[in-house]
């Protein structure tokens, strides 16, 4: 199996031993504590799950600036984005060397992790602007990722962590949430050698479905892992439970049994386009995938990125930075002449022959209770989405 990023073995930061975890939970009750941001809680879940291997905790300011500028920490570890715990006010933990991190996304704010405090640093306005520009390629406050990144504060708490739970993800998505180690075990159990991962924050329509089939066939993969984001999204995106139901129905009906696994991970979407595509590749390597599908406008939002910027960034990362391979997908559509889903680059026909529906048009049709064209969406999937939109309208 493909090795994890940055180490020979996966080193998740979740405390597996029940007795040790109970001991730490008892200790946490007596520690200075602070409620962290949703983004930091997502980082803790990803660190605990092994997805952010080989990091041991939250980056300090020097590593955050270096990751933003060079896609590597100061010790040379390749990592495409800062992984930070930033707060607005750290006065509650002033002088503490060990603190309890409280989950903002669960009622009662339970302890999600314990952190050893190596430093507490203030990020200057210029440093915040620089990191924002380098990671998101814009400082526009209307960009949802920029708004989230700049809205949590400027006080950075760095140091290693011990993760005590996976926030709300295991409870809310027991059939879907999986750690990187659990997916590695799943791949081994299935006897898969070559594995392609598909990232999604949306329901999968026929174009997405066919893109997975194309990648499996062209890369001669034994199986595919549909890996959906289960954390916070921007307003207007389909909730995770609805996406989960729609994707499971598609997988059940339109993929050969034993060739697909439907899973998810606990993280808030960054909408960072090219940089987030690299992050997606890194943590898919940690979960055991040998290939990642990077399609048109991968992890993008609005018009902030070119259609294929998330692919070309892989031409610029250092050779050997990651072992995972990228399957580069083109815009995938139904061609009326070919009578099938095609990638535009492989099709001899033109846009007049393609069925093209914007996201706005699709949402409007669903909200109006109109069936989506079967060439665009599987009817069983469309039915689940229509039910959701109908419920929203009422």
Would you write out the chain's pLDDT as a tens digit for each of its 394 residues? 999 999 999 999 999 999 999 999 999 999 999 999 999 999 999 999 999 999 999 999 999 999 999 999 999 999 999 999 999 999 999 999 999 999 999 999 999 999 999 999 999 999 999 999 999 999 999 999 999 999 999 999 999 999 999 999 999 999 999 999 999 999 999 999 999 999 998 888 898 999 999 999 999 999 999 999 998 877 777 888 899 999 999 999 999 999 999 999 999 999 999 999 999 999 999 999 999 999 988 999 999 999 999 999 999 999 999 999 999 998 888 899 898 888 888 899 988 889 887 767 887 888 888 888 988 999 999 999 998 988 877 6
Give CATH 3.40.50.620 domain extents, the chain.
175-393
Q: What values do phi and psi take at 239, rounded to 5?
A: -60, 155
Please give the pLDDT value at position 222.
97
pLDDT for residue 200: 92
Q: What is the 3-state secondary structure (H, E, C) of 12-30?
A: CCECCCHHHHHHHHHHHCC
pLDDT at 362: 82
Cis previous bond, 54, omega within 30: yes
* Burial classification of residue 152, based on how many CB atoms lie within 10 Å of its CB (0-12 exposed, 13-18 middle, 19 or more buried): middle
pLDDT value, residue 238: 83
The pLDDT, as a whole number, for residue 332 is 85
> 224: which residues sit within 8 A by CB, 6+ positions away?
195, 196, 197, 198, 212, 215, 216, 255, 259, 260, 261
Cβ–Cβ under 8 Å, residues 113 and 161: yes
Rounded Cα–Cα distance for residues 377 and 362 (Å): 10
Q: State residue 250 phi and psi, 5-degree precision.
A: -60, -45
Is-catalytic flag, 202? yes
> What pLDDT does 82 receive?
98
Distance CA 46, CA 52 (A): 6
> Of 202, 248, 328, 363, which is the active-site residue?
202
Beta bridge partners of 340: 335
**Residue 382 CA: distances (Å) to CA of 15, 207, 354:** 41, 14, 20
Which residues, at least 6 apart from 196, have a Cβ–Cβ distance to it below 8 Å? Answer: 212, 215, 216, 219, 221, 223, 224, 225, 289, 290, 291, 292, 293, 327
- H helix runs in 198-258, sequence order: 206-218, 240-254
> Residue 285: what pLDDT?
98
User: CATH top-level class for 18-170?
Assistant: alpha beta
The single residue listed with the structure tokens 């599987």 is 378
Domain range 175-393, CATH architecture: 3-Layer(aba) Sandwich (3.40)
What would the DSSP string read from start to end of 263-330? EEE-------THHHHHHHHHHHHHTT-SEEEE-TTTT--TTSS-TTHHHHGGGTSPTTS---EEEE--
C-alpha dihedral over 212, 205, 254, 188, to 10 degrees? 40
Catalytic position from the list 21, 98, 201, 363: 201
Pairing outcome for strands 325-328 and 291-294: parallel
CA gap 381, 364 in Å, rounded: 16
Give the count of beta carbons closer than 10 Å to the beta carbon of residue 254: 17
The closest of 120, 119, 99 to 111, measured between CA atoms, is 99
Q: Where in the chain is the domain with CATH 3.10.400.10?
A: 18-170
201 is catalytic: yes
pLDDT of 232: 81
Contacts of 364 (CB under 8 A, 6+ apart): none
Nearest-5° Cα angle at 12, 101 to 271:
70
Q: Which two tokens stand for residue 86?
A: 């930033």
């Amino acid at each position: 199996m493909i090795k994890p990023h940055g180490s020979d073995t996966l080193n998740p930061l979740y405390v597996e031993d029940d007795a040790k975890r109970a001991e730490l939970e008892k200790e946490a009750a007596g520690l200075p504590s602070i409620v962290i941001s949703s983004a930091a809680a997502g980082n803790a879940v990803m660190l605990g799950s092994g997805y952010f291997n080989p990091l041991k905790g939250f980056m300090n300011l020097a590593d955050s600036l270096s990751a933003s500028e060079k896609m590597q920490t100061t010790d040379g570890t390749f990592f495409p984005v800062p992984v930070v715990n930033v707060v607005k006010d750290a006065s509650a933990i002033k002088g503490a060397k060990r603190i309890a991190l409280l989950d903002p996304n669960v009622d009662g704010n339970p302890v999600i992790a314990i952190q050893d405090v190596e430093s507490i640093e203030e990020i200057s306005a210029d440093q915040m602007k620089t990191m924002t520009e380098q990671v998101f390629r814009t400082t526009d406050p209307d960009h949802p990722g920029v708004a989230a990144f700049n809205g949590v504060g400027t006080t950075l708490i760095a140091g290693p962590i011990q993760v005590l739970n996976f926030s709300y993800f295991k409870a809310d998505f027991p059939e879907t949430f999986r750690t990187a180690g659990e997916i590695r075990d799943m791949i081994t159990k299935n006897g898969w050698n070559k594995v392609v991962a598909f990232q999604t924050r949306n329901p999968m329509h026929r174009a997405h479905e066919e893109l997975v089939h194309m990648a499996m066939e062209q890369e001669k993969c034994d199986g595919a892992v549909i890996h959906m984001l289960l954390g916070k999204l921007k307003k207007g995106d389909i909730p995770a439970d609805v996406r989960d139901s729609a994707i499971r129905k598609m997988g059940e009906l339109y993929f050969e049994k034993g060739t697909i696994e439907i899973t998810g991970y606990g993280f808030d979407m960054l909408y960072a386009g090219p940089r987030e595509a690299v992050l997606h590749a890194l943590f898919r390597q940690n979960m055991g995938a040998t290939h990642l599908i990077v399609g048109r406008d991968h992890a993008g939002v609005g018009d902030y990125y070119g259609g294929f910027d998330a692919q070309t960034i892989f031409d610029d990362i250092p050779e050997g930075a990651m072992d995972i391979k990228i399957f580069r997908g083109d815009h995938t559509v139904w061609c009326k002449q070919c009578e099938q889903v095609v990638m535009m680059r492989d099709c001899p026909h033109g846009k007049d022959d393609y069925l093209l529906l914007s996201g706005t048009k699709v949402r409007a049709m669903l909200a109006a209770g109109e069936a989506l064209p079967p060439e665009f969406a599987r009817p069983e999937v469309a039915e689940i989405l229509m039910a959701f939109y109908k419920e929203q309208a009422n």
